Each structure stands twice: as structure tokens, then as C-alpha cells.
Chains A and B, each alone.
Chain A
Amino acid sequence: MLDALKKLFGSSAPSGRSSDVAAQRLKFVLLNDRANVSPEIMERIKNDIIHVIARYMDIDTQAMEIRLENDANSVALVANIPVSSMKGHGVKLKKR
């Protein structure tokens, strides 16, 4: 009897606001889609990072790794940069 009533007035689809579900799923999928950066761009990011860090320390550019990592709700830029030596005792700031 209850099933018959459910059939008449309800539906087999889950209830609740599916628009919120859609928005949430889209935000995640687009984050991943957009994170598919071309190898050329990754190479440029890598070179820029080398450029900045080289001002402060000597790094092993051959062994350096940089990549994007995805998990359930975020995308991270992960870099592994072996340091061979530091440049002096800290960096001298230019006088004004």
C-alpha cells in the first residue's frame, strides 16, 4: 500500500537540491580540467622558479622535478628542488 502511494506521488530519483550538487561537481571538474597545463607552460614555470631560487641558493637543475598533483578536492603544484649549496650567510639587501 505504501509502495503504491510512493509510486503515485514520488519518483525513483533521489530528492534534494541537485543544483547544489551540480555546482559542486562542476567546480571540482573544472579545477582539474584547467590544471591540465601544457608541457611548454610547465617548462616556463620551472625556468622561472630556477631563476628566483638561484638568487639565494645553488640548486641541482637536472634533478629538479615539478608537477601538478590532484587529490579529492584540490590541485597542488609540487616541486622537488635539490639544493647543492647556500650562497653566503643570507642574502645582502641592497642599500637604498
Chain B
Amino acid sequence: MSEVIVITSGKGGVGKTTTTANLGVGLAMQGKKVALVDTDTGLRNLDLLLGLERRIVYTLVDVVQKRVGYGQALVRHKKYENLLLLPTSQVADKTAIEPEQMLELTQVMRNEFDYILVDCPAGIEQGFQTAIIGADRAIVVTMPEVAAVRDADKIIGRLQAENKDSHLVVNRIRPQMVKDGTMLDMTSINDILSIPCIGQVPDDEKVVDSANRGIPVVEWDDSVAGQAYRNIVRRICGEDVPFQTFETDGWFTRLRKKLFSHH
């Protein structure tokens, strides 16, 4: 059985592409055959986060315009050979791909892959319509910030209008701020938005470090964000995995922050 999942958010900069890269590698680590499709035409970055930026020859635009078959445009991951990236063009714009062309492509690719993850651009314009059209379900990425939650709600409304089953990922949670009452937690975001949560990812410096290297953090055993992504992967595969509780700062760290963070 094959599944097409779109990763979307509304607001930019909340971690759609990071989530796509991590879930893709995580599913590949589970032995699934995975394709990652970047639809953020003109602003592609999925290649960079996967360390595949120097291997791109053809793009999604070449494929939908029938210059090459999709197999020729796929870039194989260096470590996981069951993970393939279909990059998009860095020069074309969002109008280069029509929703119907994307629908046709995902239908064909279903024959070859267990999971097809579609990285959606920010916004609610044509790029969004193109990204979601072929998807069975959606993962909406948001952050514990008012603007990100509001934009997520807008996206959820659009997804519900298209009858897409949607789940929420709350990204970049800072446990100490949640404990101090200065940041929304997963439960209250869940209460505000109308869809179930499939994951909460703590803010982790290793995410930046891993992006620098082009190795998604899901591969790193000692990363708390990596653990959160591994849990989401298991939930996508149908396992019932309890949500983690995150460690907060000890008394010494709190005292140090208090003394050295005055404005």
C-alpha cells in the first residue's frame, strides 16, 4: 500500500523542509521505499538538508513538462538507497507546475514507493494547491507562536475543504519556557486547532548543526529532536507511541540564565 503525505504549514520558517527531510530519512531507516518531492519551486532546500545538492541533474519541472521521465530526475540518497529525492527547479516559479500535472505524477509514483512525502511551499496560493492535490493526508507543521498557529488554522481549513486527513506537528518547543508559562504547549495548541497531534519536537541546537552537514538529525541517537522525529515516523507507520516529556533546566542553569540574561 502506498501513501502520499504532504508536509505543509502556511507560515514560512517553521520547519516544513526540516520535517520532510527527517521523516523521509526516518521512514527509509525503517526500510520503507520513500520518495521526497520538493514543490517549493524557486526556493528549493530539501536537497541541501539531505546533502544531495551537488547531484541534481533534472528537476520536477523537467518531469511534468515531459522532457524526462521521473526516474531520470530522482536523486538517490548516499546512505539509504531506498530513499530518493525528486528536486524542483531553482530558476522556474510556482506557476511552472499545474496541480493536474502533480496529481498525475503522484498517481504514477505510487506504484514504486511505500511513502511519497511532498514538501509544500509556504503560503496558500497555487504552489499550495499543487502540493496538496495528490495527497492522501497532510502533516501541518506549526510552532508555539501566535502567528504560526493562526496560519496553521488557515491551512487546516483549506485541507478540510479538500477532505484531507490532517495531523499536527508542533516544532521547536522550548520546555523551560513552557514550564515558566511563557510559551504555548502542545495541549493548548491542540485545543485551539481542530486536528490531532502526531508529534512535538523540542528546539534543539543539533538541528542547525545537522543542516550544516546535510545529515538530518533523525539519524543522531543523542538528539532530542531526532528522538521526536523517530517517534513521528513510528506513528506514521501506525504504531501507538506515547508522547515524550521533555527535560527542563536544572536550578544551576536557571540561576545562570537569570543572572546573565537581563535586558
Residues in A lying within 8 Å of B, measured CB to CB: 7-13, 16-20, 22-23, 25-27, 29-30, 33-34
Contact = CB atoms under 8 A, between A and B. Distances in A.
Contacts of B188: 19, 23
Report the contact-size class of chain B (Cβ under 8 Å from the partner): 10 to 19
B67 interface: no
A93 B153 CA distance: 44
Contacts of A22: 146, 184
Contact of B192 (A8, A18, A27): A27
B181 A9 contact: no
A25 B263 contact: no
Given A26-B150, A30-B153, A33-B154, A19 B262 contact: no
Contacts of A16: 181
Contact of A25 (B146, B153, B154): B146
Contacts of B262: 7-11
Q: Which 5 A-B pairs give the minimum distances between C-beta atoms?
A: A17-B181, A11-B263, A23-B188, A30-B153, A19-B181
B150 A19 contact: no
Interface of A is mostly: helix
B119 interface: no
Nearest to A27: B192
6 contacts: A9-B258, A11-B262, A12-B263, A17-B181, A22-B184, A26-B150
A18 B149 CA distance: 15
A67 B92 CA distance: 43
B181 A34 contact: no
B178 interface: yes
Given A33-B154, A34-B153, 5 more contacts: A9-B258, A23-B184, A25-B146, A26-B146, A30-B192
B42 interface: no
B154 to A, nearest CB: 7
Nearest to A12: B263
Given A26-B149, A27-B192, A33-B153, A19 B183 contact: yes
B182 A18 contact: yes
A7 B153 CA distance: 39
A19 B192 contact: no
B71 interface: no
B146 A20 contact: no
A23 B75 CA distance: 43
B9 to A, nearest CB: 16
B38 interface: no
Contacts of B150: 26, 29-30, 33
Interface string B143-164: 0001001100110010000000
A27 B184 CA distance: 13
A2 to B, nearest CB: 15
Contacts of B146: 22, 25-26
Interface in B176-215: 178, 181-185, 188, 191-192
Contact of A34 (B149, B157, B258, B263): B157
Contacts of B184: 19, 22-23
